[in-house]
Amino acid sequence: MRSREKEKCRKLGHRVYLIAAADRRAQTARPLLSELSSLISAQGRSGASRTAGKKCPGLARRYLRVGLVPFLLLTVLLFSCAPARRPVSVPPPPPKARIYREVGYASWYGKDFHGRPTSSGEIYNMYGLTAAHRTLPLGTRAEVTNPENGRSVRVRINDRGPFIDNRFLDLSYGAAKEIDIVEKGVAKVRLEAWAEEKEFSSRHFTVQVGAFLIEENAKRLKQRMERYGPSFISQYQTNRQTFYRVRVGDFREEGQAEALSRNLAKEGFSPFVVCAD
């Protein structure tokens, strides 16, 4: 074997040795094993392992003294038995769970709300994997997919929002980063969620008519809304300011809340149907 072939053989043998010791992924080792086997078998046809050892002494001292073929078979067996890395998948929905699907635009929210209580009562962590939805039961598990790049993230619904037209979901910063929509700010996504049927059936709904930074403005709108049903002001504080949200009605059926929302929209308001948690 020429000196260049000896050097190549030596380097391949050393790389397989390192992989066998530190990296048990078969997809990394198998191409090297194949190339190494080809080099050795080309020389092995003319004689026994003693001849091959003379042709490739560095490799012989390490592997051929115990037999190249058993070594290769053992290495491949070990790599094949090693567990492969698989992406974390969303567990299947529990029995009797209701599946909910929605497609639309999602945004994300971050530091202005970080450390503040969410609608569920837990403290918002912008780096966690959570989301806000207006009507899904709090605690609902969901998978959100960015169809533009195929990336998905599993989130838990623990907050209410967004209260902006043409958006149905607000992701935490951490979740938005997972599907690569942080820079865009708003992106089209697919949502698939599931929760126990009893969680869906126990919901109540209300209609948010407006949100104000000045409490007196909220009080005036509340008085106007009383002719539509019981109205109230829900106070929400971020790290920068306090919002006074005016809401009206208490409905067992989402369709009833939707009907009121349509009537209010005809009067020039920008209403949102939301769970009355």
pLDDT at 122 over 70: yes
232-268 pLDDT per residue, tens: 999 999 998 999 999 999 999 999 999 999 999 999 9
Q: Is 158 left (phi over 0), alpha (psi -120 to 50) or beta?
A: alpha
Sequence letter at residue 46? S
pLDDT of residue 2: 56
Model pLDDT, residue 76: 42
Residue pLDDT, tens place only, 124-167: 999 999 999 999 999 999 999 999 999 999 999 999 999 999 99
Domain boundaries, the chain: 3-81, 97-201, 205-275
Asked if residues 212 and 270 have their Cβ atoms less than 8 Å apart, the reply is no
Q: Which of 28-32, 55-59, 96-100 has the highest mean pLDDT?
A: 96-100
What tokens appear for 191 in the block?
A: 């949502």
pLDDT at 5 (0 to 100): 59
Max CA distance (Å), the chain: 100
Model confidence pLDDT, tens digit, residues 155-205:
999 999 999 999 999 999 999 999 999 999 999 999 999 988 889 999 999
- The least confident of 3-12, 47-56, 108-117, 156-165 is 47-56
Instruction: Give the model's pLDDT for residue 180.
Output: 98
Beta strands in 57-183 (DSSP E): 97-109, 130-133, 141-146, 151-159, 169-172
pLDDT of residue 171: 98
pLDDT at res. 112: 93
Same fold, 97-201 and 205-275: no
pLDDT the model gives residue 98: 85
Q: What is the pLDDT of residue 220?
A: 97
pLDDT at 222: 97
In whole angstroms, what is the distance from residue 14 CA to residue 150 CA? 39
Q: Which tens digit of pLDDT belongs to each residue from 50-87?
A: 444 444 445 444 444 444 444 444 444 444 444 444 44
Nearest to 250 by CA among 200, 196, 203: 203
* Confidence (pLDDT) at 277: 82
CB contact at 8 A, 90 and 71: no
Is residue 269 pLDDT above 90, yes or no? yes
Q: Report the SS3 class of residue 249.
A: strand
Residue of 206, 208, 203, 167 whose CA lies nearest to 185? 167
Q: Which CATH architecture has domain 97-201?
A: Beta Barrel (2.40)
Please choose, from the candidates 164, 162, 142, 161, the residue with its C-alpha nearest in 3D space to the C-alpha of residue 153: 142
- Which CATH number applies to 205-275? 3.30.70.1070
Of 142, 125, 1, 120, the C-alpha closest to 58 is 1
